[in-house]
Homo-oligomer: A and B are copies of this chain.
């Protein structure tokens, strides 16, 4: 099962994590990732942020990323939720969870989805600081993280 959601509303990563097992007795492992707005990023104090996206393409790209993960690892379910719009300090931005029979597959798939999402899904963060707002620069480390999955092997890098 693949579930993709793009929404402005806050979410409860706890409720989402609990739902990923879904009573499927073949699931041995659920790995979840939740990303939050930090108060400090790239040497700046951050009060909040605005997340812009490309409606339509956003959902399409997240689905493609989820499908690619399912082709690489045996997964019972993949859930991706990403917020857009205004976000405050400490609020959750993104949630990704994977369910599999074995932990290695669930861990790798979840990390893979985050790395691909960071570099291939059309979201842009604008941070609000005391000095005004600015668009966040792409990070070279995110590009490097995504590149490590581009080998032929489906295994962990």
A3 at the interface (CB under 8 A from B): no
A26 at the interface (CB under 8 A from B): yes
| Most B-side CB within 10 Å, residue of A19, A26, A36, A39 | A36
Check B38–A30 contact: CB distance below 8 A.
Answer: no
Decide yes or no: A39 and B17 within 8 Å by CB, A103-B33, A104-B145 being known contacts: no
Check B26–A38 contact: CB distance below 8 A.
Answer: yes
Check B30–A36 contact: CB distance below 8 A.
Answer: yes
A114 at the interface (CB under 8 A from B): yes
Q: A39 to chain B: closest CB distance in Å?
A: 4
Question: Could you tell me the distance between the alpha carbons of A89 and B21 in the complex, rounded to whole angstroms?
Answer: 12
Q: A1 to chain B: closest CB distance in Å?
A: 16
Check B90–A23 contact: CB distance below 8 A.
Answer: yes
